Amino acid sequence: MGRRSRQFRPREVGVKLKLPFVGEISGSWTPQQAEAKAAWELYAELATRISVVKLRRDEGLAREALSSLYTLFGTTREILRKYGPEVSPRGSADAITFGKLALTMLNVAVRPLLARWHPRLGAWEATRANGVAPVDHENEWEHVEELRAEIESVRVALLQVAELLAEVSGAAPLTPDSRLLGDLGKQRGGG
């Protein structure tokens, strides 16, 4: 009775991701225990951020989305330091590992978006007149739809990564459940 049940951790996981600016990454991943733990930590970060939640036109600012994506760099660095080389084991040069996946996610999907849009949006924000609400000013920008489209593209890719991390960690997806949302889900176009 005092025994804890052993948490399921997949032996091998099929990987098929489409990342913006890269294309498809596919293969198999046989995660080590440290990778499964690191996967849970990064999954919890992704699942609780705007990074995997659709940014609706009438909700929030693109600036908030960019800032949220930027914080993934610090969080991911902390996770990589915490678990060390165990999340990218020696001898795995051709294999998919947590370390490779995390760095690819950041450097190939998130970094190009931020490098392109942070300075451009910052320059536009600097032109906001006193008395104009930030959301109104942002929505007047001629490039806002292009920015939001790229944020959406990265969001879809990060959602794929999050789902993979959930599988590797042995967790059920932490997606909104229509049974818990009730009328709110219906008002927002869900369930």
112-121 pLDDT, tens digit each: 999 999 999 9
Distance of CA 2 to the CA centre of its chain: 37
pLDDT < 70 stretches in the chain? 1-10, 21-22, 92-93, 175-191
Distance of CA 142 to the CA centre of its chain: 26
Instruction: Give the rounded percent of residues in the chain with a pLDDT score beyond 90.
Output: 51
State how far the Cα of 81 lies from the Cα of 87, in Å rounded to an integer.
Answer: 10
Instruction: Give the rounded percent of residues in the chain with a pLDDT score beyond 70.
Output: 84
Smallest Cα–Cα separation from 161: which of 105, 110, 106?
105
pLDDT value at residue 5: 46
Q: How many CB atoms lie within 10 A of CB 49?
A: 18
Q: Is 57 helix (H, G, I), strand (E, B) or coil?
A: coil
pLDDT value at residue 172: 81
Smallest Cα–Cα separation from 24: which of 32, 13, 16?
16
Which amino acid makes up residue 36? A
pLDDT tens track for 90-106: 776 678 899 999 999 99
